[in-house]
Every structure is written in C-alpha cells, then in structure tokens.
Amino acid sequence: MSTADAAAAVPSIPPPEPVRRRRMRRLERAALEGVLIREVINFRSYWRSATFSATVEPTVYLLAFGFGFGALVNSVGGLKYIEFVGTGSVATAVLFSAAFGSMYGSFIKREYQRTYDAILSTPVDTVELVAAEVLWMGGRAGLYGCVPILVAMVFGLDPSLGMLLVPFIGMLAGIGWAAFGTAISASASTIENFSYVQSAVLTPLFLTAGTFFPLDQLPRGIELAANLNPLYHCVQLVRHAVFGFEVGADLIHLGAMLLFALVCLRIAVRQTQRKLVL
C-alpha cells in the first residue's frame, strides 16, 4: 500500500470546536453570594453587641425626646410628639447602624485583619466586594430601623399597612449610608480621622433631618439646605409611609435617596480600589 493510499485510509479527525467562554459580568452572583455568606457567618459571633449598639441609642433618643419634650409639646404637624419622634428615629437608627458600622468595620477589616486582601485573592473583584458589603450593611440597617417604630407602637403609635415598607425604606437609606461610610473609611489614613466626619458632617445632618423638630420653623436657608440632607428624605418617606403617602413629594424623596446611594457607592468602589489594588 502506497503512502498516499495509507493516508487516505485514515479517517479524518475534525478540528476541535473553539471553547466558548462565558462572558464575565460586572457583578457576578457567585462572588456576591460568597461575600454575603461570609458576613452572615461572621455576624453570628457578634450580633448581640452590634444589635445592642445600633438600636439602644436611637431608642434612648426616642424616649428622652418623646417624653421629655413630649411633656411640653402636645403635637407637631397634627401628630402626637411621640409619633413624630418615633417615625423620625427610624432614620437615626439607620444612620448609626450603617454609617458608623461601615466606617469602622471596613477600616478594621482592611487595615488590621487584612480580610479584604484575602477576599480579593479569590475570584472576587473590588466592585463585588464593596457592593456585597454595602448590601449587607444596608439590610441590617433596614431591620434595625424598625426598632423605634416598634417602641413607639408600645407608647401609642397606631399600626398601619405602610409600616410594612419601613424596612425597605431603611434598607435603601442604609445602603447609601453604608457606601458613605465605606468611602470615608477608604479615604482616611487613620481611624482617628473619623472623629472629624462624625462631628462636622454626621452630627449636623442628624440634627437637621427633621427627626426631633419640624424644619419649617427654622430660618429659610436651613430649611432649603435640608433638602440636600439624605437623612431628611428618609425621615419624610418613613413618616409618609406610616401616616399616608404624598405621591409627588415621596417620589422626590425616593429619588434623592437612590441618587445618594448610587453616588456614594461609586465613590466607595473607587476609593477602595485605590487602597487595595496597586
């Protein structure tokens, strides 16, 4: 048999088909789930202290102002003062849980425990890491924000169907404040720098959110500036959910909270990338 005949007798093998690689998305579900599951498992070891610190202080403010000023002020804007403060304190609980928790928590995990370095050595990028951490903190804040409502119900706040939306409003606000805290953490060189943010930024926002007194009694400039306060929009949206929605105004409040969350999340991702990715 000639060489040509032998070659013809060998069956031809078709070339292998090209391997189709799955396109990686910006946010991979498996990566987000991995970070979230780690947070849930880790939370089991310190949930008591975290829950205590995130809920007791807003409750103390609620009781102190509700019964302190409540003895002097019968009603505000057609609401009993305990109802006014109880619904407003939801935003306070969200702020304390999300902003403070993310500032200190992310700094410790990044600078001291090196947790973020370990996570980024797996198939998780910075965007997925920050997004998952912010979602986790926002979800916790949404639940913690319900505590003032429950306390106010004990002291006379009537339940309503709109209260079912309070955890979701708190979660959206919590995502924004958690992203804010993460951005501050990634921008600070030392943990002591957080004191400047607490005193110069968070405290004024906390006091001008309309939680403890109506803003329409303040000078016109402060009242207008309150519209730039994300905490104010959370307070208003919670009150309207409990006592009755105002569609036009509430769409503005919702849009402002969503914009704040998206902007802070983008800044948090960028600042964290500068810290962690060389």
The string of pLDDT tens digits covering residues 73-82 is: 778 878 888 8
In a domain, 172, yes or no: yes
Packing angle of the helix pair 146-154, 126-144 (nearest 10 deg): 0
Is the separation of the CB atoms in 171 and 141 below 8 Å?
Answer: yes
Flag whether 149 is in a domain: yes
Indicate the number of domains in the chain.
Answer: 1
User: Do residues 151 and 64 touch, judged by C-beta distance below 8 A?
Assistant: no
The dihedrals phi and psi of 80, each to the nearest 5 degrees, come to: -60, 145
Q: Name the residue type at position 248.
A: G
Q: What is the mean pLDDT of residues 241-248?
A: 92
Average pLDDT over residues 101-118: 92
Residue 225 has pLDDT above 60, yes or no: yes
Q: What is the pTM of this model?
A: 0.86
Q: Give domain status of residue 52, yes or no.
A: yes
pLDDT of 169 reads 96
Give the whole-angstrom CA distance, residue 134 versus residue 47. 17
| Model confidence pLDDT, tens digit, residues 28-71 | 888 999 999 999 999 888 888 888 878 888 888 888 877 777 76
| pLDDT for res 20 | 46
Statement: residue 207 has pLDDT above 60:
yes
Whether residue 15 lies inside any domain: the answer is no
| Amino acid residing at 83 | E
Q: Which domain holds residue 248?
A: 28-38+46-276
Range from 111-125, 150-164, 168-182 that averages highest in pLDDT: 168-182
Give me the helices (H) in the chain, please.
3-9, 29-43, 47-68, 81-95, 101-107, 115-120, 126-144, 146-154, 166-187, 194-197, 203-207, 220-225, 230-243, 247-276
Compute the average pLDDT of residues 9-20: 51
Structural domain includes residue 17: no
Going by C-alpha positions, the residue among 20, 202, 244 that lies closest to residue 102 is: 202
More confident residue, 231 or 56: 231
Q: Is pLDDT of 87 > 70? A: yes
Q: Is the pLDDT of residue 8 over 90?
A: no
Contacts of 144 (CB under 8 A, 6+ apart): 51, 54, 55, 93, 94, 96, 97, 170
Mean predicted lDDT score pLDDT of the chain = 86
Q: Is the pLDDT of residue 165 over 90?
A: yes
Q: DSSP code of 210? A: S
> DSSP assignment, residue 98?
I
Q: What percent of the chain has pLDDT over 70?
A: 90
More confident residue, 208 or 184: 184
* Predicted local distance difference test score (pLDDT) of residue 64: 82
Point out the least confidently predicted range of 9-18, 28-37, 132-141, 148-157. 9-18
Residue 22: pLDDT band (50, 70, 90) is: very low
Residue 146 has pLDDT above 60, yes or no: yes
Instruction: State the distance between the two ends of the chain, measured CA to CA, in whole angstroms.
Output: 65
Identify whether 195 is part of a domain: yes
Q: What is the dihedral of CA 142, 116, 27, 184, to 10 degrees?
A: 60
Q: CA distances (Å), 34 to each of 38, 119, 236, in order?
A: 6, 9, 35
Q: Is residue 9 part of a domain?
A: no
pLDDT confidence of residue 74:
76
